[in-house]
Amino acid sequence: MSTYHYGVFVGRFQPLHIGHEAVIRAALKQVDTLIVLIGSSAQARTPRNPFTHEERAEMFAKVFKHELATDRLILKPVPDHPYSDTAWCTEVQRAVNETVLAHYNRGGVVLHGLDDIRIALAGYGKDRTSYYLKLFPEWGNVQLTSQYGTFSSSDIRRQLFQRIPAISRSVLSDEVAGWLEDFSLSETFRDLLEEAEYLDAYPKDWGRGPFVTVDAVVIQSGHILLVERGQAPGKGLLALPGGFLDPSESIRDAAIRELKEETAISDHKGEIPPAMLASFIDGTKTRVFDHPDRSLRGRIITHAFLFRLPERRELFSVTGGDDARAANWYRLGDLKPEQFFEDHWSIIDLMADL
């Protein structure tokens, strides 16, 4: 009998490589069942997160077919919360609790809590494990080692996103390498390659920052005003109206200017003047979003302003302009995180009280 009933291993697996596989196999020797939480599960594709949760689950299924079939290995998606460790911890705790109860109760012994279940966090690397243990002190600790410590998934992605993709079978199982070879022939890969090339050139053309930007979170009658990006990066994704600060303007004025340029927001009298738009700003909600990895373009710090427009049956009219392909109102309840550019879903989540 293992020391722990369940182990928990968290990773992004972009892609799954032999280092991950070795750690998972080592964990399976110490726990009865291993729950693998696949991070960044509800995000739009980027060169950093090119594979969906479902695609990464396919990779696991090719390598761990027996373990998945016998329920020794269970996969669950977990979304990111870059601005709240508490929210992320809640997602992890909920995913583990629900998985354990559903899995254990199938044996005929009905559990209503986890008091008698031994759970451990499976970690690789002292610093990272220590960080996770601080977030989940109620779980035990399975310390793991791996002989594959000289490369990471980012190295694999760097080789993959080239005009002539390089897929290293020395660090990938044959099954995953074959999956990546098929992926490299897809239209999705070509779109990601275009974005990767754009992002590679960006710091050469503009520097690495830090840069200052603004974003407008505009709410009216249960709807939010969004633009569809017309060019890389994030071409075709939904985004908040916004852009870079001009040298001669205040941050608030920049948010109003970008809102007007990208949406031409109007009422029955015509385009709404800046002073009136300024009156709709809820000053108590203005917030800075500065996660170091929020943009792949470089160090970009944005200031988000919440515009609360008057409730009405007929929403203000909008038209896409500047570098926005389109501007439209969206019902807040219809939106999904994977539709959004960079961290704009997280901004909306925090600013609009979803």
Task: Tell me whether residue 127 is in a domain.
Answer: yes
Q: For the chain, what is the total number of helices (H) and then of strands (E)?
A: 11, 14
Residue 143 lies in a domain: yes
Q: What is the pLDDT of residues 261-299, one digit of tens each?
A: 999 999 989 999 999 999 999 999 999 999 999 999 999
Among 119, 148, 123, 132, CA closest to 32: 119
pLDDT for position 150: 78
Instruction: Name the more confident of 256 and 140.
Output: 256
- Report if residue 215 sits inside a domain: yes
pLDDT tens-digit readout, 164-217: 999 999 999 999 999 999 999 999 999 999 999 999 999 999 998 999 999 999
Same-domain check for residues 15 and 164: yes
Work out the pLDDT band at 129, boundaries 50, 70, 90.
Answer: very low
Please compute the mean of the pLDDT values over residues 152-161 and round it to a whole number.
Answer: 95
303: CB partners within 8 A, 6+ apart: 212, 213, 214, 215, 251, 255, 286, 287, 288, 289
Residues 244 and 303 in one domain: yes
Whether residue 200 lies inside any domain: the answer is: no
pLDDT tens profile 159-174: 999 999 999 999 999 9
Q: State the pLDDT at residue 110.
A: 61
CA distance 91 to 79: 8
Q: Within this chain, do residues 142 and 226 fall inside the same structural domain, yes or no? A: no
* Confidence band of 56 (pLDDT split at 50, 70, 90): very high
Query: Which of 147, 168, 183 is at the close of a domain?
Result: 183
Residue 107 pLDDT = 60
Give the bridge partners for 326, in sequence order. 228
CATH number at residue 274: 3.90.79.10
280: which 2 tokens? 């709709």
State how many domains the chain has: 2
* Shared domain check, 217 and 165: no
CATH of the domain at 66: 3.40.50.620
**Are residues 117 and 255 located together in one domain of the fold?**
no
Same domain, 281 and 162: no
**Is residue 146 in some structural domain?**
yes
143 and 64 in one domain? Answer: yes
Both structure tokens of 59: 């990779």
Q: Which domain holds residue 13?
A: 4-183
The answer on 255 and 179 residing in a single domain is: no
Q: What whole-number distance in Å separates Cα of residue 77 and Cα of residue 343?
A: 18
- Looking at the structure, tell me whether residues 35 and 150 fall in a common domain: yes
17 in the same domain as 165: yes
Answer yes or no: do 121 and 218 share one domain.
Answer: no
Q: Residue 323: its pLDDT value, please?
A: 74
Q: Is residue 67 part of a domain?
A: yes
Specify whether 272 is located in the same domain as 175: no
